[in-house]
Structure 1
Amino acid sequence: MPTTNGRVSHWFDEPPPSRPALPGDRDADVCIVGAGYTGLWTAYYLKKADPALRISVLEARFAGFGASGRNGGWLSGLVPGDRNRMAEQYGRQRVLDWQRALNDSVDEVIDVAAAEGIDAGIVKGGTLHIARTPAQAGRLAAEADEELAWKVDGIARLSKAEVAERIRLDGVVSGYHNPHCARIQPARLVRGLADAVERLGVDVYEQTPAVTIESGRVTTPHGTVTAPVVLRATEGFTATLPGLRRRWLPMNSSMIVTEPLSAALWETIGWDDRATLGDTAHGFFYAQRTVDDRIAIGGRSVPYRFGSRIDRDGQVPPRTITHLTRVLHSVLPQVRDVPIAHGWCGVLAVPRDWESTVTFDRATGVGWAGGYVGHGVTATNLAGRTLTDLVLDRRGPLAELPWVGHRSRDWEPEPLRWLGVRGMYTAYKAADWHESRGRATTSPIAVVADKIAGRPH
Structure 2
Amino acid sequence: MDADLSPSFWLASLGPVTRRDPLPGDTTADVAIVGGGYTGLWTAYYLAVAAPHLRIVVLEAEYCGYGASGRNGGWCSGLFPVPYERLARRYGADRADAMTQALADAVDEVGRVAAAESIDCDYTKGGTVSLARTPAQLRRAEASPDFIDAAKAAAICGATHVLGGTYSPHCAALHPAKLVRGLAGAVERRGVTVHEGTRVRRIERGRVDTEHGTVRAPTVVRALEGYTAALPGHRRTLAPVYSLMVATAPLDAATWERIGLARRETFTDERHLIVYGQRTADDRLAFGGRGAPYHFGSRVKAGYDRDPAVFAALRRTITEMFGIDAPIEHAWGGPLGIPRDWMPSVGVQDGLAWSGGYVGDGVAASNLGGRTLADLITGDLTVRTTLPWVGHRSRPWEPEPLRWLGINAALRATAVRDAWERR
State the TM-score, normalized to the length of structure 1.
0.90
Instruction: Write the mapping of 1:33-432 to structure 2, written as runs, cut at 5 A.
Output: 33-142=34-143, 144-145=144-145, 155=146, 157-312=147-302, 315-333=305-323, 335-336=324-325, 338-361=326-349, 364-432=350-418
* Structure 1 runs of 4+ with >6 Å offset: none
Q: Output the CA distance in 1 between the equivalents of 2:269 and 2:156.
A: 15
Segments of structure 2 that go 5 or more residues without pairing to the other structure are none
Q: Taking structure 1 as reference, are residues 208 and 432 closer, same or farther at Cα in structure 2, changes over 3 Å only?
A: same
Deviation at 1:313, TM superposition (A): 6.7
Larger mean CA deviation between 374-383 and 297-306 belongs to 297-306
Q: Output the CA distance in 1 between the equivalents of 2:161 and 2:293.
A: 26
Aligned residue for 2:2?
2
Q: Output the CA distance in 2 between the equivalents of 1:211 and 1:82.
A: 35
> Which AA in structure 2 matches 1:424?
A
Deviations 1:333-366 (A, max 9, x none): 1x21x210111111111110110100101xx211
Aligned residue for 1:442?
none
Q: Output the CA distance in 1 between the equivalents of 2:36 and 2:122.
A: 21
> Which AA in structure 1 matches 2:302?
R
Larger mean CA deviation between 162-171 and 420-429 belongs to 162-171
Q: Output the CA distance in 2 between the equivalents of 1:385 and 1:413.
A: 33
In 2, are the aligned partners of 1:33 and 1:210 still within 8 Å (CA)?
A: yes
Q: Output the CA distance in 1 between the equivalents of 2:77 and 2:420.
A: 30
Please tell me the root mean square deviation across aligned C-alpha atoms, in Å: 1.2
Does 2:22 match 1:26?
Answer: no
Larger mean CA deviation between 76-85 and 299-308 belongs to 76-85
In 1, are the aligned partners of 2:244 and 2:305 still within 8 Å (CA)?
A: no
Q: Taking structure 1 as reference, are residues 197 and 314 closer, same or farther at Cα in structure 2, changes over 3 Å only?
A: farther
> Which AA in structure 2 matches 1:4?
D
In 1, are the aligned partners of 2:173 and 2:278 still within 8 Å (CA)?
A: yes
In 2, are the aligned partners of 1:82 and 1:355 still within 8 Å (CA)?
A: no
Deviation at 1:119, TM superposition (A): 0.4
Q: Output the CA distance in 2 between the equivalents of 1:15 and 1:314.
A: 22
Q: Tell me, what secondary structure is at the counterpart of 2:10?
A: coil
Q: Tell me, what secondary structure is at the counterpart of 2:62?
A: coil
In 2, are the aligned partners of 1:218 and 1:225 still within 8 Å (CA)?
A: yes
Q: Output the CA distance in 2 between the equivalents of 1:134 and 1:15.
A: 47
Q: Output the CA distance in 2 between the equivalents of 1:255 and 1:100.
A: 29
Q: Tell me, what secondary structure is at the counterpart of 2:305?
A: coil
Deviation at 1:262, TM superposition (A): 1.5
Deviations 1:393-445 (A, max 9, x none): 111111100000001110011111111111111111111111112xxxxxxxx
Deviations 1:201-230 (A, max 9, x none): 100000101111011110101111111111
Q: Taking structure 1 as reference, are residues 384 and 423 closer, same or farther at Cα in structure 2, changes over 3 Å only?
A: same
State the TM-score, normalized to the length of structure 2.
0.97
Deviation at 1:332, TM superposition (A): 0.8
Q: Output the CA distance in 2 between the equivalents of 1:281 and 1:258.
A: 22
Q: Output the CA distance in 1 between the equivalents of 2:88 and 2:67.
A: 31
> Which AA in structure 1 matches 2:8?
S
Segments of structure 1 that go 5 or more residues without pairing to the other structure are 146-154, 438-457
In 2, are the aligned partners of 1:123 and 1:182 still within 8 Å (CA)?
A: yes
Larger mean CA deviation between 168-177 and 127-136 belongs to 168-177
In 2, are the aligned partners of 1:81 and 1:373 still within 8 Å (CA)?
A: no
Larger mean CA deviation between 121-130 and 313-322 belongs to 313-322
